[in-house]
Chains A and B, each alone.
Chain A
Amino acid sequence: MVPSSIKIRTGNQMIAEGALHAGCQFFAGYPITPASGVYKAMIEQLPQRNGVAISAPDEISALAYCVGASGRGVKAMTASSGPGWSLMIETVQYALMTELPVVIALVQRLGPSTGGATQNGQADILFTEFCTSGGYTIPIFAPSTPQECYEVATIAFHWAEQLRTPVIILSDKEVGMMSEDVDFALLKGVPPSERALFRGGNGAQHLTYDFEELSDVPLFAPVGGADKVTMTGSAHDKKGTLQKNSKETIDVLVHLQAKIDARKEAMSIVRLDDAGPADTLLISFGITARTAREAVRRARQDGKKVRNANVISLFPVPEQALIAAAAGVRRVVIAEENMTGQYRSVLRSLFPQTEVVGVNTVGTMITPNDILNALV
């Protein structure tokens, strides 16, 4: 028999696989449909690799455990869905402010906790991105298949560690809970990446939030290591001293966004299916990207000229890639499972000269026909 590497996996399980590949050593979880599969997979697998996977009594604890562990120098992840996310938000801001890497896998459904646990949703886009009172960009990556769940998890850890910031994997119930054949030999992912460490030497003194250029990422030293660490969620100078409005403190606040802006293009991932001149640019993400691929296949059989853009990096918005993708089209169609066109509201300004149309549902999947009807 030829050796095989095909297994049946859900998207949730593949997020766990990707996290393990990335070197995640710490997971704290709290049950919530449809994200519990990540929690279960991590509880099963992390101890097998001598990592820590524990249960928290609520989502605030789950994320705070992860951020604390990250401060001690380990890669950490939690997983939840909208209702749990609403509890995590202050802690996300804290991670952002303290520049502590952490990965949060959010598997969307309909909220609140009494909402629609087993109904798909792609309606937490704005809720997830625009949750900080500081208005900072939180990198968000959205997978559409179990294979992409793996890939995106490795990417999320890469950027969390490289940027020292919280990064979100924004999945959805359909992607997370559906099982599929996955050929492990064909998995793609970025190699594990480590946060840059402060190594001292030559009498160099460690400043917890040191940078030269605003867009530099401070070198990390763990609490419990040889160099004093001053973590604080308060506005602070480079040393971590609480301050309100010194020039240096304002610089630190600006730096939090500058480090992300400077890597915006490097973070951009748009999977483009370009079959030449097109009348329509179709944009989608998550489970809807799969539906879009089917719609495009059928549309081209009907002789329609359509270009398909599957956005993986929802934020920072991959502006250049999307503007380039829209070259020459008469219409941009943005398909997403929420009623008001959340991502459309973010993208609209990229296409000032082009008609922008939404395909939207709530509580039910968008079908290939829904999309076909919206194409030029």
Chain B
Amino acid sequence: MEATLPRTTFTKENAAFPFCKGCGHHHYVKHLDEAFVSLQLDPKQVCIVSDIGCIGILDSLFAEPHTFHTTHGRSTAFATGIALADGILHDAKLKTVVVIGDGGATIGLLHLVNAALMNIDVTVVLANNFLYGMTGGQHSQFSPLEFVTPTTPAGNIVPPMDICSIMKSCGATYIRQASATDKNLGTIIGEAIAHPGFAIVEVLELCTEWATPFNKIDGKMLTGSVHHNDSGGVPERKDFSSLYKEKVLGAPKRPSDDTIVPHYTSPLRGSRRIVLAGTAGEKVQLASFLYMKSAIASGLHATQKNDNPVTQGSGFSLSELCVSSDDILYTGIDRPDAVIIASADGLKEVRANGTLARCTPDSIVVAEQTLPEFECAGKVSRLPLRAVCTGSRAALSALAALNVAKGWVSQDALWEMIDGKFKEKSAAFHRDIEALMPFIKI
């Protein structure tokens, strides 16, 4: 077998760099290539994910690595997806390198933040030339104070963001800053790529088209402004993919079986539509769910939908149920067969949402005794729900009592569900129903 010679470059032969004369991106590309060479990577295990801006077009300079030229600011998010798929679902061999400018890092800051927080195995090499070169030299959130650009003609009056500090506060495990002309930059980028987990290198650059003509700025000043030149302080931690495999995929698998066996029967032919209204936290929706389960266990079809105010634990709680011997087509309640009102919150809601107005003389309304009078065409039974059952059993006990009277679903099925759910505490429901039955007028 022939020995393969070490690779001396990953860029295309005679590639003409598309950047302006003197632009820092020339150095950037050279150092990135040096980093690949120093690690002697397999180019098919490298993916360059580039952003928008002058720096973004460098993907065309690289011959063999995979390239992913993405949308503005989103490169780190695409890279995160690639790295997750590679790191968890494949062999975790791919080196994913994000090429992004200061403009991309500004609009896509959250992607950088989340990649650092997750400690995704991605390397971000951020070309910071303090402005948007490609679109005409507009200032960015990385521009220094007093920086003159077409959009800061009087000089920038807003201080620049310090991406290294932001990344540090997000727990990034490798953070470096260097000027584009720093001769160690290739080594630094190489270290960043070799680093397992999230790494960011901020490269300070000159845009010769827009920065140098209008500002006193040169390479020396850039070198002098480098302040984050070590990665100390941040403890090493596992990268997200390794942790995910260990903690999430490694957790014992939990097969669940919530199959319902229809081993009861119901005499019901056609459908019954029931509205349950009460107060959040008083198990209205659980009552509805158990009834639905009993209906299915009785060989019926059933639908259930719940409603509550935006804060889920306060105010009203509403549930709409339909049980039917046939397929349920329309899922709304245009004509309620029964309405249960367990509290003042519930009454307020069935008034507001039109349920009471849709009742017909055939509708059965079971309402808490102490509620004020309300207008409704249905047949109203007043029950001491809250006195007998307290709020937390009111809805379910009312529904169970109604079912004892009407027999829409198998009562045995309903008791199976209630007993199964409440175990030793279910005796209270049996007592409730006995106490409530005399009050139901149907």
Chain A interfacial positions (CB closer than 8 Å to B): 1-8, 25-26, 28, 47-48, 50-52, 54, 56-58, 60-61, 64-74, 76, 90-91, 94, 117-118, 174, 177-181, 223-234, 240-242, 287, 290-291, 293-295, 297, 365, 367-369
Contact = CB atoms under 8 A, between A and B. Distances in A.
Nearest to B83: A68
Nearest to B244: A52
B119 to A, nearest CB: 13
Interface stretch (B73-81, B127-135, B181-189): B73-81
Interface string B230-257: 0000000000000010001101011100
Contact of B78 (A5, A8, A71): A71
A230 B69 CA distance: 8
Interface of B is mostly: mixed
User: Closest 4 A-B residue pairs measured CB to CB?
Assistant: A68-B81, A64-B77, A72-B85, A294-B330
B305 A174 contact: yes
Contacts of B289: 8, 179
B328 A180 contact: yes
B44 A225 contact: yes
B68 to A, nearest CB: 4
Contact of A242 (B69, B304, B328): B69
20 contacts: A2-B261, A4-B261, A6-B260, A6-B296, A8-B292, A47-B251, A48-B253, A52-B84, A58-B110, A60-B74, A64-B70, A65-B80, A179-B292, A180-B328, A228-B43, A230-B59, A232-B67, A233-B69, A241-B60, A290-B330
Interface residues of B, number: 68
B362 interface: no
B78 A67 contact: yes
Given A4-B260, A8-B258, A178-B331, A94 B71 contact: yes
Given A223-B47, A369-B334, A26 B262 contact: no
B176 interface: no
Nearest to A26: B85
A365 B289 CA distance: 22
Interface of B: 43-45, 47, 49, 57, 59-60, 64-71, 74, 77-86, 88-90, 93-94, 110-111, 113-114, 244, 248-249, 251, 253-255, 258-263, 289, 292-293, 296, 301-308, 310, 328-332, 334
B260 A48 contact: no
A232 B253 CA distance: 39
A6 B71 CA distance: 45
Nearest to A51: B89
B67 A229 contact: yes
Contacts of B308: 118
A64 B114 CA distance: 13
A208 to B, nearest CB: 9
Contacts of A25: 85, 89
Most buried by A among B77, B88, B111, B293: B77
A117 B307 CA distance: 11
B66 A228 contact: yes
Most buried by B among A233, A368, A369: A233
Contacts of B113: 57
A226 B42 CA distance: 10
Contacts of B248: 47
Contact of B304 (A52, A91, A179, A369): A179
A18 B47 CA distance: 32
A112 to B, nearest CB: 14
A177 B258 CA distance: 18
A94 B329 contact: no
